[in-house]
Amino acid sequence: MSKLDVLIAGSTGYIGVQLVSLLIKHRYIRIKYLCGNTSVGKKISFYDKSLNDKKLPRIVKFNQKFLNEVDVIFTALPNGEAQEISKKLLSNNTLIDLAADFRLVKASEYLKWYKKRHKAPKQIKNSIYSIPEITGKKIKNYKIISCPGCYPTSILLPLIPLIKNKLINIDNIIIDSKSGYSGAGRSVHFKYKNKNLYESLSAYGVGFHRHNSEIEQTIKNFTKKKFKFTFTPHLSPMFRGILSTIYLDLNKNVNARKIHTCLNNFYKKHIFVKILKFNSLLNTNDVINTNYCNISVCKSRYSNKIILLSAIDNLIKGGAGQGVQNMNILYNFNINEGLK
């Protein structure tokens, strides 16, 4: 099988560097261009010493001419920049965006949540929001693949099967999520320099975090009923990983065991989602440096309630790994190619 030529725009951020480390292990990928703005001329090993492969190109500034030479463009850029690139795509190009540029299906919603006008509203119809285990091969009909945010990935993977099968009361879903500080990008060290980032736990975006928009939009795809959820994110003093705790009320004649069975059946053919034994505790350490999402169904002290635990690596399953997984589906590669 011939190799795909790939360009990575935003290759020096935490997600971009993680993407490079995955793609150099992918048998059917050749990294043609690594692009950055403030790092032109540097080697990617400047950002990660393990990436010292001599075949990796030096970092260059993005040029539209490069699109003639590549099949896949990965974008891990500040919000808004992938929209500009999308307007220049050629017929042979596929764009896989790891930022938020095409996560919302309405330009007006993007303006509402990101406080920026969408620069490529006509391209939204050519894009799809893709959690691989949920979307599957539908992505083959689209030129632009939008990968979900890290928090929504950890939340929607356990929630969607239960909503789809009408097992839970969706009037009061409560979600508490804690993320490693790498989720905020390299600028986090400056943004939180006065907040004891490495030793304290911080709540932020309470009630109005941008990822509320993704969660709401996706849930609407699986129910016609009105629903309410409360999502509170926290920045944790660890570099990577997300642990989401979700509190749910059960519908009548549903118990915690039935929830566990539903999730087991839904994901039994999906190797990157692991449903742990009933009532198991979990931690982020078990998923760090992997593309797995571990999910546990736990009993509550009340029979009509349950607690879901979900853990991912925000830089892999919540970022670069999900991008590679979507690409593998798109091009009929083995689903775990580059992700073993």
DSSP state of 2: P
**How far from each other are the two terminal CA atoms of the chain, in whole angstroms?**
19
Amino acid occupying residue 176:
D
Residues 210 and 266: beta-carbon distance below 8 Å: no
Residues 326 and 130: beta-carbon distance below 8 Å: yes
The residue annotated as part of the active site, out of 147, 150, 262, 298, is 150
Residues 35 and 10: beta-carbon distance below 8 Å: yes
d(CA 297, CA 304): 13
Residue with tokens 């095409």: 102
- CB neighbourhood size of 277 (10 A): 8
Backbone phi, psi, residue 15, to 5° = -70, -45
Residues 99 and 110: beta-carbon distance below 8 Å: no
d(CA 201, CA 245): 16
150 catalytic per annotation: yes
- Residue 325's Cβ-side half-sphere holds a number of Cα atoms within 13 Å equal to 28
Residues 6+ apart with CB under 8 A from 45: 51, 52, 56
Give alpha helix (H) positions in 237-283: 256-267
Q: Please give the helix or strand (H or E) that residue 155 lies within, else none.
A: helix 150-164
Residue with tokens 């083959």: 140
Taking CA atoms, 96 is separated from 57, 137, 324, in Å, by 20, 15, 9
Amino acid occupying residue 136:
G
Q: Which residues of 116-142 are buried (b: 16+ CB within 10 A; e: fewer)?
A: eebbbeebbeebbbbbbbbbeeebeeb
Chain CA centroid to CA 121, Å = 22
Give catalytic residue positions.
150
